Amino acid sequence: MRRRRRPLLSGVVAVAVAALAALTAGTLPARSADAGAARPWMSAADTPGQRADALLAQMTTAEKITMMHGGAQCAWGACVDANTRLGIPQLRLQDGPAGVADGAGGVTQLPAPVAAAASFDRDLATSYGQVIGNEAWGKGANIVLGPTINIVRDPRWGRAFESLSEDPYLAGEVGAADIRGIQSQGPMAQVKHYADYNQETNRNNPSDNVIMNDRTQREIYLPAFEAAVQQGQAYSVMCSYASVAGTYACENSQLIQQVLEGDLGFTGFVTSDWGGTHSTVASANAGLDQEMNGQDFYGTALTNAVNSGQVSIATLDGHVRRILTSMFASGLFDTTQTGTITAPVSTAAHQATARQVAEEGSVLLKNAGSALPLGTANKKIAVIGDDAGPNALTAGAGSAHVGSSSIVTPYSALVSRAGSGAAVTYSQGYASPGGEIVDSPYLTPSQGSGHGLYGQFYNGTAMGGTAITSRVDPTVNFLWGGASPAGGVPANGWSAKWTGTLTPPSTGSYTFALSSDDGSRLFINGQQLINNWADQPRTTKTGTVTLTAGQPVSIEVDYFNDGGGSELELGWQVPNQDLHGQAVTAAKAADTAVVFVDKSEGEGADLSDIDLSADQNQLVTDVAAANPNTIVVINSGSAVTMPWVGSVRGI
């Protein structure tokens, strides 16, 4: 039975990978130079700045402005339209900090960036970046939206897992090494989020207003960006959602022009976070080079501002010159990309790097009585925890979420390692918020035969007109990775719905979880239970309903994909399971109990506390009381409380 794939934060216990490919690292095919005479900017003998000036002189105002905003819908996270008249390549932006994200398949699911930071190894951080850069290039992307180098000011920050710690020096050293790795493979790195972005609560809202003195700014929050620019030589910077001293970061001239460009010496281009542009004239005159995604402020509004003189031609040219110079400097004009978003790009070497990061990013906090490593005296091992089984947490949520089609769970790895020398049992212990995938035996399609739900696929995002194709799917558990979900269905701009009946196995309160990139909805007996309907990175929402054992209810799952990544999962928590008691009983019967605990984190929401989710702390306490030889493995992107620290042998 396929289970719900849930997001690894620190990469401590699992390394997940996808399909293998034969892509050779660093292979950048040369672009033909036969257009050099007609296009003097194609002469590699000139400097990137000279080439940018030569090209800029041939561009119309409209062509310049096209370079400054998101373009037509594309297969990647976002694109800037190509200019065929002048031979300007399409810019293809793709998340992210932990690998090729946005729902892409056939990639390596690296451990979270915080694990790379925990290795304290610059060379390993460079290798980490090389995997990201190589796979992004192989997928056809030429800008990687990462790394994230914001300081973890508060351990409750939802994106702590994708950043590089609370230490300015460590974040800078690891971030710069990561950038060098990414850019060595072809893509430009767009380091983020500049600056002072340290919480999800009220993000992109004036109420998230950062007030600090200059010394704090320069000693704590800017050093990582200084390293990214000066040591990492990042080609691009993403400005943040934060307001700094009352002014949005993306229209803050003091941050962009005075500090970033003036003090730090940055010569690349600045792009806004998605929806982080809030003005036209103020942003353009403050140094924002590119609006993402779309053109609400840098399309017609910018054209009007230039025509009226509110934004000068010199300012406009400066923006475009910075973008073009980075494109020339990175080699984008001189190479031809052949990769596509559906190409499998993971390799055995990439997977080995992922494993090494997971190993070297792990931290041994306690080992009383040399409890670890587990020896041959352990004939009975009780593996406990939702995070050890099919629901193992393998990636944080949001734009940094990287999917995987193949996960080695901690339990299966321990069984394999123990071999015939020990009996290894598994107890879930507690139910994760997302639960397990709703399995096919409980589902009956509205049309067709067998178990599952009847799926219908439509052109467009509104499920309108006649379905292009239909079929029975055993579960709602898909990682399309930006590819077409079925024959005749476009890769982008489509929708689908699955219908049938659900027969509950027991009576009680069921919690359903719907995860999707982009939008999804769940209806039970015609009533909407979950509304997750938005153009968004992978996002999970839950809903609870009381059901009766053996009494079928109608079920409908709706979905749309508007471009970029595409994935959909329906999970549930079945009531009346004494998971806690079963785990304690298993611990009593074992020589050693190994409890895997986690803390789910993700973009868009901060944590309310630093306690382990659900009743995991109580589970550890009770297991340790039943078996003093208890080992705890924490899978978290940030700090967690450990009230049981004195009761266990190893952490």
> Which residues are registered as beta bridge partners of 248?
243
CB atoms within 10 A of CB 310: 15
| Helix (H) / strand (E) containing 544 | strand 539-547
The string of DSSP codes covering 59-92 is: --HHHHHHTTB--S--SSSEEE--BTTTTBPPEE
With a CB cutoff of 8 Å and minimum separation 6, the contacts of 336 are 29, 30, 31, 32
Token look-up 């060595």 returns 184
DSSP annotation of 346? B
- According to DSSP, the β-strands at 423-427 and 247-248 are unpaired
DSSP annotation of 393? B
Copy the structure tokens of residue 130. Answer: 């090389």
CB 106 within 8 A of CB 92: no
CA-wise closest residue to 429 among 462, 391, 400: 391
Taking the alpha carbons of 243, 248, 253, 257 in that order, is the dihedral positive or negative? positive
DSSP annotation of 602? B
The string of DSSP codes covering 424-453 is: EEEE--S--TT-EE--GGGEEESSSSSSSE
The string of DSSP codes covering 487-524 is: TT--SSSEEEEEEEEE--SSSEEEEEEEEEESEEEEEE
Catalytic residue among 178, 196, 208, 273: 273
* 3-state class (DSSP) for residue 397: strand
The string of DSSP codes covering 252-289 is: -HIIIIIIIIIIS---SEEEE-TT----SHHHHHHT--
- The phi, psi pair for 424, rounded to 5°, reads -115, 120
Q: What is the Cα–Cα distance from 298 to 139, expressed in whole angstroms?
A: 28
Residue type, 118: A
Token look-up 């767009």 returns 190
* 3-state class (DSSP) for residue 129: helix
Direct distance between the N- and C-terminal alpha carbons of the chain, in angstroms, rounded to an integer? 31
With a CB cutoff of 8 Å and minimum separation 6, the contacts of 45 are none
Copy the structure tokens of residue 182. Answer: 């990414």
Copy the structure tokens of residue 132. Answer: 């990201």
Q: What is the Cα–Cα distance from 638 to 297, expressed in whole angstroms?
A: 37
Q: What is the Cα–Cα distance from 223 to 587, expressed in whole angstroms?
A: 47
What are the angstrom distances between the C-alpha of 624 and each of 134, 449, 604, 643, 645?
45, 48, 35, 12, 10
Q: Exposure string (b/e) for 57-87, b if CB count within 10 Å is 16 or more?
A: eebeeebbbbbbbbbeebbbbbbbbbbeeee
How many residues comprise the chain? Answer: 651
CB 131 within 8 A of CB 99: yes
Q: What is the Cα–Cα distance from 476 to 4, expressed in whole angstroms?
A: 10
Active-site residue, 273 included: yes
> Looking at the annotation, which residues are catalytic?
273
